[in-house]
Amino acid sequence: MSRQQNTYADFKEKQSELAALLEEASEAIAPIDLLAKDANSLKSLAEKVNKDSFKLMVVGDFKNGKSTFINSFLGEAVLPAQNLPCTAVISEVRYGEKREAKLYFKSTLSDLAKDFIAKSDAKQEVKELVKKHGGKGVPPIKIPADEIKKYATIPTDKTQKEMAQESPYEKIELFWDLELLKNNIELVDSPGLNEAETREAVTMQYLDKADAILFVVSARKVGSDSENKFIKLHLKDRFNHIYFIFNQWDLVDTEEDRRDTMKSAKETFCEFTDFGESGIYFVSARNALIGKTQKKPDLLKSSGMPEFEKELENFLTNDRGRVKLSQPAKELRRILDTKALKEAFPQVWGMLDTSLADMKARRDEAMPKLARIKKRQTATWDNIHKQLEMAEREFRTLIEKFLTDFRNNIAVWINEFEPMASDEDMQSVVNEISDHVKNQVEIEQKEWQDNTLRVFIQGKIQYIRESNSSALEDFFQDLKEVKGTISGVKALEEENVPLDLKLQAVSVGFSDIDLSSMSFESAVANSGAGFKIKNLLLPVGLAVAGGMFLGPIGAFLGGAIGSFFRGSSGGSAKIGIEQVRAQLIEKIQDQVINSGLDSFEKMIEDLQNQLWKYFESILKGMDAEAEGVEVQVNRVIEEMEQGQQEVQHQKSVLAALEERVRQIKAKADKFIAENIDGR
């Protein structure tokens, strides 16, 4: 077995060990009503550990060899790779002992998309499946791995207009027996960044799902303007783990050019990755692929790919593994130690060790206070609802102001820009203005996101948390007193645990949102206009996703000025640049007014829903904590009413459960010491 196989086998063993511990702990504490919520949380964590994938997304300009780079890992030219822009959909490469692929369709296919599939060289089964479902809700279908190019590529025999259309397919899953991909690792191929905007949007939307980035750059040109802009706008603040792969290294001929390229690459890109110089590699994916397919070990060795594969293996095995296993392992220990052994078990023992009469008296004393806790919880729910409704109105005002300012800025951007092209070549003038406006849109969006939207959302979440902090803190304090009254056991003095940590702990298991790094998308698309704000890393973990609401602005501008030409003396009269400026300003401003607000409506709705999900998960967790206390005391009283024999039986069961939990905790402590803390 190779070193790579050994390391991945070790990681798989650790992952399985932790998942088994989580499942065992969930089963062990489930009979304790006070720990019912925690048992569900551990079960959810076990499922997450088993299913959690790590996505390595390969991005970069087209012609830089992204697909060839991935093919060099696979050892076969599976993904489409050619000089023309060709990758049209996302391709997720996953581990599978059988080499096969699965094709996914867009949720709803337009008549144009259905016609595209019908006239393509797709399998007959694919065409019949689309026809059967009428283009709606078409289920995925298996396709041979060697036929991926039929679906992942842009048909280069089509017209430019046809090639610019969206692909009717959502993604392709490729299953491949590559050792690197074991343990839920995925390699993701994406459309080029500086290609058609409809396909670049596919890459942009997928970024939110990526865990680490493999950025493929051409070694013949160290960082194009589009690449540098993309890194600064969309990667720098979102990803710590970025590898920069300078491909086509075999095409850099002289030693002097190689030295200059290496120096320039390190000076330019080191600041964007936590790996520093260790995150920059110079490879020839083409030579690596040839070396593997034609059994030429010297060519493979000289390609630089083996060194990068070794580094990637080390990252995935060690750093990635430690990060992915750390949080669930420490949550396991926290629940077993604090929640179970130090709180719940002593409290249940306290109940069982008293008389039936005293137990009923304790319950009667505690129930009114528990009822007040529940009533106050209802008031807290209502208050947060009202605050979120108010935040929605403020958010709407904020967005409307942004749209107004944006509309005014359009005239400034267009009027102040001086194109290089001659007035005689008005189409080139339009193209220059189009590119300038697109750049300004991205800059404006980034600044608004960082300086206005981020601050607003942070402030609102903080305000809602702080304005309800007294009620939230009272909940935990009062519930602790209720538990003490019922059990007769003095509650443990917590060591200044921050409210945020208490809330995060109770919320686990009550939402499909990961509160440690919560994110969501609100992708909007209506007639070429969509808004997508990139992830915002907020203190509470909330991240907002949205996007540029001007959509494919280049195509829009082209259509707008085209109609202007057609309306001007049959296209024969000379059109001045000032007329062009005025026409473009009017057209783009109309676009913002007509479709921008509609796009934002969807974003506002998504934002409101996700903010509520966040607070709802906390409140549901708190309600479950209170419910568990009432259920536990009533259960103990029912057991006591059955007689002393039943009480003794329950004590035996409780003692066995407690011992089992201590044993599991010892295993968890050992696991963390050896695999997380590195002792």
CB 541 within 8 A of CB 511: no
Q: How far apart are CA 245 and CA 259, in angstroms?
A: 16
**Bigger pLDDT: 194 vs 131:** 131
Looking at the chain, the whole-number percentage of residues with pLDDT higher than 90 is 29
Assign 191 a pLDDT band (cuts: 50, 70, 90): confident
CB 191 within 8 A of CB 202: yes
Stretch 400-427: mean pLDDT: 84
Please count the other Cβ atoms lying within 10 Å of the Cβ belonging to residue 301: 14
pLDDT confidence of residue 152: 77
Residue 231 has which token pair?
């890194």
- Residue 628, helix vs strand vs coil: helix
**Bigger pLDDT: 593 vs 282:** 282
Lowest-confidence pick of 31-35, 310-314, 340-344: 310-314
**Bigger pLDDT: 197 vs 252:** 252
Q: What is the DSSP letter of 91?
A: E
pLDDT confidence of residue 521: 27
Residue 577 has which token pair?
């640049």
Whose CA is closest to 164, among 213, 206, 112? 112
Lowest-confidence pick of 6-20, 79-93, 158-172, 570-584: 158-172
Helices (H), 335-453: 345-352, 356-416, 426-448
Assign 598 a pLDDT band (cuts: 50, 70, 90): low
Per-residue pLDDT tens digits for 559-591: 444 444 444 444 444 567 888 888 888 887 777
Q: Is residue 540's pLDDT more than 50?
A: no
Q: How far apart are CA 545 and CA 606, in angstroms?
A: 10
Q: Is residue 83's pLDDT more than 80?
A: no
Per-residue pLDDT tens digits for 441-471: 777 777 787 778 778 887 888 888 889 989 9
Q: Note the pTM of the prediction, 2 decimals.
A: 0.60
Stretch 155-167: mean pLDDT: 52
- Topology (CATH level 3) of domain 53-303: Rossmann fold (3.40.50)
Residue 574 has which token pair?
């000379």
**Bigger pLDDT: 116 vs 285:** 285
Q: Give ranges for CATH 3.40.50.300 in the chain.
A: 53-303
**Bigger pLDDT: 661 vs 516:** 661
Per-residue pLDDT tens digits for 481-522: 898 899 888 765 555 667 776 777 677 555 443 333 322 222
Stretch 409-418: mean pLDDT: 88
Run of H or E including 638: helix 597-641
pLDDT confidence of residue 565: 46
CB 200 within 8 A of CB 192: yes
pLDDT confidence of residue 495: 53
pLDDT confidence of residue 522: 27
Q: How far apart are CA 87 and CA 362, in angstroms?
A: 69
